[in-house]
Amino acid sequence: MSHALLGLMAAILLSGCTESVHPQPPVRMFDGTQDGTQFEIRVPPRWNRTLLVYNQGGGGPGPTPVTSPVPEPLGQAFLSRGYAIASTGYRLSGFTPESGVTTDKHLIDLFSKAVGTPYRILSLGVSYGGLVASLLAESDPRVSGALSLCGPVAGGPVNFSSFMDAAFAADQLLGGGNSLDLVAMSSSSERSSRAQSNLDAATRLLNQASSTAAGRARLGLVAALAEIPPWYGRFEPTTSQPEPGAAVHAYFEGLIDSGWLFQGGPDLGQGSNGMPVGNAGVDYRVLLRASGRWPEIQSAYAASSLSLEGDLNTLNSGRRIHADPATSLAFAVQSSLYKAELRAPIVAIADDGDSRVSVANLTSFPLLAQENGWNSANDFLPLYVTWAGHCNFTEAEVLTGLDQLVNRLNVGHWGVHSPEVLNQYGKTMNTDGTFDGGGPPRSTSFGTPQCVCVFSRVTGQVNN
């Protein structure tokens, strides 16, 4: 019998057959309440034995919403890759990352009882949650590493000190030294109310300032002290220098957007009345020079009727805010990563033009680590995305960061992570959507930061 005839017979026999389709097992879901807040667990049918512990944003004054699951389409991308996801809210309001860490540890216990012990646990978080995720990886030996997305990894003291400097400068130069209340408040409810009053007053001051050359020069100075970038806009690339007018708008919007600037210090939760940060002894002339933006601010002042030296003298002679030593120490211990050598590797991703959590968090971290006597090169990988806005990442950028972390754990060192290699890798994922489903699609945009700036408090060696 010829091969052609055999082929024809096989085709006839198979033509009446259909492949049976078996439905895919559903994702297993668990939810409920633990530690006074809600939790959610999702386990894919083909679990790869790795658990991702997800931490949402938060840390502001007033109550924190209940659990916010991983935003879509990123959640489905994790599940399709075999990762289980556990997420929870925060038991306490305010900037209390240590309470988030405790809740995460209990969530891991709950997962192990309900589902089984994971082979590997990774923590990830967005914004404030990025710091919580990093602290969890450093404090729980069950957690192998962390992925921080737009998180304040430089720690609470450095971030809030820079916010203090900007708010103090805004009050002194734009409000006559008596428009903003920057001292600590006795309760979370009072803090929330006062924060709103400060924001309203700051909005008026900044609106007035943006209408004149003198005011715009002062806006630039205020923004420089907090390392607020000259780009703003959720979907604005930072691949070129902005127009002067756009920069002024960026300063204004960035200052308002960063509500922490005008809270009167971070809300440390229940039972904390002292001021954790202050500016006693700070020389604002030194801080401005340390910011790397002295020439830019000098040019803005030259175009106005103001004296930069005069304004710096005003700042240096203003009434200072003193930190409470006990509160300050507790804040540093509870919200800083660089007290000792990192126990687990961390990948941190930041938008180059993020006005809420500055890129200076990532560039300052190695200096802070060095001050504490260790080299972070093999444990901390900073990655930069050349876009403005807070947490403006694509799904591919987040997945690329996660794969870098997993590879580091598998082989013991960081792989090639140049922007060109990372962007090419991101293209292989065939997705161009943002990780939270908002905004227009775009390609993976890893790059080098436009300004390799560090927090002035770090380079200026001013710590109180």
Categorize the per-residue pLDDT at 104 as very low, low, confident or very high, splitting at 50, 70 and 90.
Answer: very high
How far apart (Å, rounded) are the C-alpha atoms in residues 88 and 107? 8
Categorize the per-residue pLDDT at 417 as very low, low, confident or very high, splitting at 50, 70 and 90.
Answer: very high
* Domain match, 190 and 282 both: yes
Higher pLDDT, 3 or 378: 378
Categorize the per-residue pLDDT at 148 as very low, low, confident or very high, splitting at 50, 70 and 90.
Answer: very high
How far apart (Å, rounded) are the C-alpha atoms in residues 183 and 200? 17
Structural domain of 368: 28-155+336-453
Contact predicate 398/349, CB 8 Å: yes
Domain annotation covers residue 12: no
Domain termination residue (choose one: 312, 331, 350): 331
Categorize the per-residue pLDDT at 177 as very low, low, confident or very high, splitting at 50, 70 and 90.
Answer: confident
Q: Report pLDDT digits (tens) over 181-214.
A: 877 554 556 666 777 788 888 888 888 988 899 9
pLDDT score for 41? 95
Q: Report pLDDT digits (tens) over 280-331.
A: 889 999 889 888 888 889 999 999 989 999 999 999 999 998 888 888 877 7
% of the chain at pLDDT higher than 90: 34
Domain annotation covers residue 437: yes
pLDDT score for 298? 92
What is the C-alpha R_g of the chain? 25
Higher pLDDT, 361 or 142: 142
> Long-range contact list for 158-161, CB < 8 A, 24+ apart?
158/361, 158/364, 158/368, 158/455, 158/457, 158/458, 159/260, 159/357, 159/361, 159/455, 160/95, 160/260, 160/265, 160/266, 160/276, 160/277, 160/331, 161/277, 161/279, 161/455, 161/457
Burial environment of residue 6 by CB neighbours within 10 A (0 to 12, 13 to 18, 19 or more): exposed
Q: Please, what's the largest Cα pairwise distance for the chain?
A: 104
Q: 33-42, 100-109, 254-263, 274-283 — which is least confidently predicted?
A: 254-263
pLDDT score for 378? 86
Contact predicate 432/441, CB 8 Å: yes
Categorize the per-residue pLDDT at 82 as very low, low, confident or very high, splitting at 50, 70 and 90.
Answer: very high
* Domain match, 358 and 234 both: no
pLDDT score for 463? 38
* Domain match, 318 and 362 both: no
**Token couple for 50:** 């790795």
Average pLDDT of the chain? 81
* Domain match, 194 and 320 both: yes
* Domain match, 85 and 128 both: yes
**Token couple for 365:** 């971290």
* Domain match, 206 and 292 both: yes
How far apart (Å, rounded) are the C-alpha atoms in residues 314 and 218? 12
Domain annotation covers residue 421: yes
Residue among 140, 115, 130 at smallest CA distance from 54? 130
Domain annotation covers residue 114: yes
The CA-based angle 323-57-55, given to 5 degrees, is 110
Strand-pair partners of 126: 149
115 has a pLDDT exceeding 50: yes
Higher pLDDT, 461 or 403: 403
Q: Report pLDDT digits (tens) over 334-345.
A: 777 655 567 899
Categorize the per-residue pLDDT at 8 as very low, low, confident or very high, splitting at 50, 70 and 90.
Answer: very low
How far apart (Å, rounded) are the C-alpha atoms in residues 167 and 379? 34
* Domain match, 175 and 310 both: yes
Q: Count of domains in the chain?
A: 2
pLDDT score for 5? 38
Higher pLDDT, 423 or 354: 423
Domain annotation covers residue 50: yes
Contact predicate 173/222, CB 8 Å: yes
* Domain match, 290 and 311 both: yes
**Token couple for 276:** 């954790």
pLDDT score for 347? 96
Q: Report pLDDT digits (tens) over 22-48.
A: 466 789 999 988 888 889 999 999 999
- Sheet strands side by side (includes 28-34): 28-34, 37-43, 84-88, 50-55, 120-126, 143-149, 346-353, 380-388, 446-447
9 has a pLDDT exceeding 50: no
pTM: 0.87
Between strands 37-43 and 28-34, the pairing is antiparallel
pLDDT score for 6? 37
Domain termination residue (choose one: 331, 347, 380): 331
Q: 31-40, 68-77, 155-164, 243-252 — which is least confidently predicted?
A: 243-252
pLDDT score for 194? 72
Higher pLDDT, 49 or 74: 49
Higher pLDDT, 408 or 251: 408
Categorize the per-residue pLDDT at 263 as very low, low, confident or very high, splitting at 50, 70 and 90.
Answer: low
88 has a pLDDT exceeding 50: yes
* Domain match, 40 and 98 both: yes
Q: Where are the alpha helices (DSSP H) in 115-155?
A: 128-139
* Domain match, 201 and 223 both: yes
**Winning range, highest mean pLDDT, from 292-306, 380-394, 403-417:** 403-417
Domain termination residue (choose one: 331, 365, 385): 331
Q: 157-171, 181-195, 420-434, 443-457 — which is least confidently predicted?
A: 181-195
* Domain match, 196 and 259 both: yes
Contact predicate 124/133, CB 8 Å: yes
Transcribe 235-276 into DSSP letters: T-B-SSPPPHHHHHHHHHHHHHH-GGGGSSS----TT--S-S
What single-letter amino acid sits at 399? L
DSSP letter, residue 281: T
Domain annotation covers residue 299: yes
42 CB-near residues (< 8 Å, 6+ apart): 27, 28, 29, 69, 75, 79, 84, 85, 86
* Domain match, 235 and 289 both: yes
Half-sphere exposure (Cβ direction) of 124: Cα atoms closer than 13 Å: 27
Between strands 84-88 and 37-43, the pairing is antiparallel
pLDDT score for 323? 84
How far apart (Å, rounded) are the C-alpha atoms in residues 110 and 114? 6
Domain annotation covers residue 418: yes
pLDDT score for 269? 61
CATH number of the domain to which 428 belongs: 3.40.50.1820
pLDDT score for 23? 61
Q: Report pLDDT digits (tens) over 293-306.
A: 888 899 999 999 89
Domain annotation covers residue 253: yes
How far apart (Å, rounded) are the C-alpha atoms in residues 153 and 379? 13
Residue 38 CA, distance from chain mean position = 23
What single-letter amino acid sits at 349? I
Between strands 120-126 and 380-388, the pairing is unpaired
Q: 29-38, 250-259, 314-323, 347-356 — which is least confidently predicted?
A: 250-259
431 has a pLDDT exceeding 90: no
